Amino acid sequence: MAMGELVASIAHEVNQPLTGVVTNANFCLRQLASATPNLEKLREAITEIVNDGTRASAVISRIRALLSVSRKWDRSWREQSSAGVAVRGCGGRNVH
C-alpha cells in the first residue's frame, strides 16, 4: 500500500466516528434548546457519542501499536544489517 493510500485510510477511519460525535452532539444541543427535550433520544445520542469516541480511540491505539511494531522491526533490522555489524565491530568509531 502506498503512503498516500495509508494516510487516506487512516484519515477515513478516524473521521468516521468523529463525524458521528459531531452530528450527535449537535442533535443533543438542539434537543436541549427545545421546549420539550426528548430525554430518551438524548440518552441514545449520548450513548452513540460515547461509542463513537471509543471507536476513534481504538483506531488511534491500533495505529500507535502498528507504529511501535514498525519502529522495533526497523531498529532490529538496522542492528542486524551488515553496516550495523561493521560499525559495532569498529567500536562505533568513525573510520575513514
Is residue 42 within 8 Å of 28, Cβ to Cβ? Answer: yes
Radius of gyration in angstroms for the set of CA atoms belonging to the chain, rounded to a whole number: 24
Buried b / exposed e along 5-32 (16+ C-beta atoms within 10 A): eeeeeeeebbeebeebbeebeebbeeee
User: What are the structural domains of the chain?
Assistant: 3-89 (1.10.287)
Q: What is the pLDDT of residues 5-16, one digit of tens each?
A: 888 888 888 999
Q: What is the pLDDT of residues 35-79, one digit of tens each?
A: 999 999 999 999 999 999 999 999 999 888 888 876 666 666 566
Amino acid at position 87, single letter: V
Q: Outline where 1-94 has alpha helix (H).
A: 3-33, 39-80, 82-89
Please tell me the pTM assigned to this model.
Answer: 0.65
